[in-house]
């Protein structure tokens, strides 16, 4: 598996990027690692080789890259990328670094004779890794964890978005095998490029995994979540999980809260769990809200603690502008917690079930408020929600990825 990074709590080199992507790729590696031999190369970190959770992480060193310099892709490949896409100097330096790694990757492929190279993400590095695989006759598949070029709220410079558009055009022509994490993502690609069905696109939904965190007793530093935030036992808790950003759209939740009926507001607290915004604008909006005492900024919550939040929650909300999947929704379901999500989200068709989800028909604040009122005042069957969540467990996800690998090996459609 080739990935920019993974997130591993407790490992300083892999804690720099605490994101849903980082946790998800790590979970995929561990889950597939129970069925197949998995090696991971993280391209944005350097360090010695090591093993954990049945996965071998390969050595990443500048000296190793330089020793294989003469096996790199032709320099013209790098120059061509620079000419084709008007990338900034900062991005070009990073792409040049990735180019420096191509000789090392070629060495690994020739030495280890992999069945499949699984590339995570879509960017200029992806282009280089695909070219190495093609020159080595190596079968590969690319997993897209979201579509970055279809929304202005996704923070990615124009050159990167243009690359993704060109990449998807090649996918639509059947040139590149990919997996996507939701049916909606596949449908967007097919609709955008006028293709009825792309047999080289497989849908493999994300999964949840809490593992060793499941034995927690709703306590954090000796106190329960309700005690920490001064929430009464009969108070309702809505969770909004995700790093604060324009795309994750937490600001709409602040506006919607003001529209909820007073009987609901006085007994409902919204806990925002995620890394603070870069400019502090969201935090400022919360503090200036007349309901600030019910809008709680929890900051970045580590994975070993977030399970406690789900256990205490009465509902999970996600109002993202663009969202490939929506992992927090199924994580909540694992604890029997219902959720609310927009009907136009990519993964709605994959996640929706009446036993667990309140669909939000439109994106205006009134529609969201109406859905949240239903979420908080309906009677939910916790066991039914927990049972439905098993559709998204790690074992199912791993088997689906192995099916993709097997089809690639046999030159069958995904």
User: What CATH number does residue 238 fall under?
Assistant: 3.40.50.2000
What's the pLDDT score for residue 303? Answer: 78
Looking at the fold, whether 400 and 361 belong to one and the same domain comes out as: no
Mean pLDDT, contiguous 10-residue spans, the chain (414 residues): 91 82 92 96 94 93 94 95 91 95 97 97 96 96 89 74 94 96 92 92 87 50 82 96 93 96 96 92 93 95 88 96 88 96 93 96 97 97 95 92 94 71
Looking at the fold, whether 273 and 398 belong to one and the same domain comes out as: no
Looking at the fold, whether 38 and 20 belong to one and the same domain comes out as: yes
Q: How far is CA 337 from the centre of its chain?
A: 20
368 near 360, Cβ under 8 Å? yes
The three-point CA angle 38-42-43 to 5° equals 140
Residue 231: inside a domain, yes or no? yes
Looking at the fold, whether 378 and 403 belong to one and the same domain comes out as: no
Distance, CA of 209 to CA of 362 (rounded, Å): 31
Domain extent at residue 237: 211-392
pLDDT single digits (tens) 182-221? 999 999 999 999 998 899 999 999 887 776 445 445 445 5
Looking at the fold, whether 156 and 14 belong to one and the same domain comes out as: yes
Looking at the fold, whether 15 and 138 belong to one and the same domain comes out as: yes
Residue 260: inside a domain, yes or no? yes
Looking at the fold, whether 122 and 157 belong to one and the same domain comes out as: yes
Q: What is each CA distance from 180 to 151, 305, 363, in whole angstroms? A: 17, 29, 24
Question: 83 is written with which tokens?
Answer: 């000419």
Average pLDDT, the chain: 91
Looking at the fold, whether 140 and 242 belong to one and the same domain comes out as: no
Q: Report the largest interatomic distance among the alpha carbons of the chain, rounded to a whole angstrom.
A: 70
The residues facing 295 across adjacent strands are: 270
Residue 285: inside a domain, yes or no? yes
Backbone φ, ψ for residue 350 (5° rounding): -80, -35
- Kindly tell me the burial class for residue 28, based on how many C-beta atoms sit within 10 Å of its own C-beta (0-12, 13-18, 19 or more): buried
Domain count, the chain: 2
Q: What pTM was computed for the model?
A: 0.82
Looking at the fold, whether 388 and 399 belong to one and the same domain comes out as: no
Looking at the fold, whether 243 and 198 belong to one and the same domain comes out as: no
Residue 414: inside a domain, yes or no? no
Looking at the fold, whether 336 and 293 belong to one and the same domain comes out as: yes
Looking at the fold, whether 340 and 299 belong to one and the same domain comes out as: yes
> Mapping DSSP to helix (H, G, I), strand (E, B) and coil, where does residue 175 land?
coil
């Amino acid at each position: 598996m080739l990935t920019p990074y993974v997130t591993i709590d407790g490992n300083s080199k892999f804690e720099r990027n605490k994101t849903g992507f980082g946790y998800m790729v790590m979970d995929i590696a561990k889950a597939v690692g129970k069925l197949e031999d998995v090696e991971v190369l993280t391209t944005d970190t350097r360090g010695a080789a090591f093993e954990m959770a049945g996965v071998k992480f390969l050595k990443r060193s500048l000296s190793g890259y330089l020793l294989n310099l003469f096996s790199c892709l032709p320099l013209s490949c790098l120059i061509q990328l620079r000419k084709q896409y008007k990338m900034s100097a900062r991005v070009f330096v990073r792409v040049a670094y990735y180019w420096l790694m191509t000789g090392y990757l070629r060495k690994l492929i020739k030495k280890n004779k992999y069945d499949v190279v699984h590339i995570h993400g879509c960017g200029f590095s992806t282009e280089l890794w695909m070219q190495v695989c093609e020159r080595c006759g190596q079968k590969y598949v690319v997993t897209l964890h979201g579509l970055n070029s279809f929304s202005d709220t996704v923070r990615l410079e124009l050159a990167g978005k243009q690359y993704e558009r060109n990449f998807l055009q090649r996918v639509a022509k059947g040139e590149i095998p990919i997996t996507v994490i939701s049916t909606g993502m596949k449908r967007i690609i097919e609709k955008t490029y006028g293709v009825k069905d792309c047999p080289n696109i497989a849908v493999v939904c994300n999964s949840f995994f809490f593992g060793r965190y499941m034995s927690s007793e709703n306590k954090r530093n000796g106190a329960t979540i309700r005690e920490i935030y001064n929430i009464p036992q009969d108070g309702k808790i809505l969770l909004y999980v995700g790093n604060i950003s324009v795309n994750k759209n937490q600001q709409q939740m602040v506006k919607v809260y003001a529209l909820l009926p007073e009987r609901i507001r006085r007994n409902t607290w919204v806990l925002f769990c995620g890394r603070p915004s870069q400019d502090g604008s969201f935090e400022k909006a919360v503090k200036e809200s007349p309901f600030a005492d019910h809008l709680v900024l929890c900051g970045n919550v580590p994975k070993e603690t977030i399970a406690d939040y789900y256990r205490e929650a009465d509902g999970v909300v996600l109002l993202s502008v663009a969202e490939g999947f929506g992992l927090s929704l199924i994580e909540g379901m694992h604890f029997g917690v219902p959720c609310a999500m927009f009907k136009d989200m990519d993964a709605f068709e994959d996640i929706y079930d009446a036993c667990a989800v309140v669909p939000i028909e439109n994106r205006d604040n009134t529609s969201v408020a109406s859905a949240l009122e239903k979420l908080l005042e309906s009677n939910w069957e916790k066991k039914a929600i927990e049972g439905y969540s098993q559709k998204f467990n790690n074992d199912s996800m791993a088997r689906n990825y192995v099916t993709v690998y097997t089809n690639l090996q046999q030159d069958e459609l995904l």
